[in-house]
Amino acid sequence: DVKVTQSSRYLVKRTGEKVFLECVQDMDHENMFWYRQDPGLGLRLIYFSYDVKMKEKGDIPEGYSVSREKKERFSLILESASTNQTSMYLCASSLIPPERATSTDTQYFGPGTRLTVL
């Protein structure tokens, strides 16, 4: 079974702190994603990565950065946390099939980190 783990289930930080959210997958997937989930808004893509050291902005990248130094690990960084970044953060990974990104390119999700910024 694919396993995606996130470093913390719950996290409480103060405004202005630098926050690291870690995600690790054990299935040698190329793609990794960070989403935030807010009530009434569903999941919104923050950043994604399709290879080591490669990243692409999602729909709401402002206030966030990411790091992918190793294939299995994808970190989300809040350089200076603000209260409006209080949210649930979900990491996901997926495998690119050899030639075409077909429907077998399923995203597997971690359990989420609920971040509260005070």
Partner 1 sequence: AQTVTQSQPEMSVQEAETVTLSCTYDTSESDYYLFWYKQPPSRQMILVIRQEAYKQQNATENRFSVNFQKAAKSFSLKISDSQLGDAAMYFCAYRSERFVLRGYWGIGNLYGSGSRLTFGEGTQLTVNP
Q: How far apart are CA 106 and CA 114, in angstroms?
A: 24
d(C-alpha 42, C-alpha 40), whole Å: 6
27 binds partner 1 (CB under 8 A): no
For position 112 contacting partner 1 by CB under 8 A, the verdict is yes
* Residues comprising the chain, all counted: 118
Distance CA(35)–CA(101), nearest Å, equals 20
CB of 27 to partner 1, least distance (A): 15
Total site size for partner 1, rule CB under 8 A:
31
* CA–CA distance, 51 with 64 (Å, rounded to integer): 19
CB of 75 to partner 1, least distance (A): 18
In the complex, the residues that contact partner 1 under the rule CB under 8 A are 31, 33, 35, 40-45, 48, 50-51, 54, 56, 58, 88, 90, 92, 94, 96, 98-101, 103, 105-107, 109, 111-112
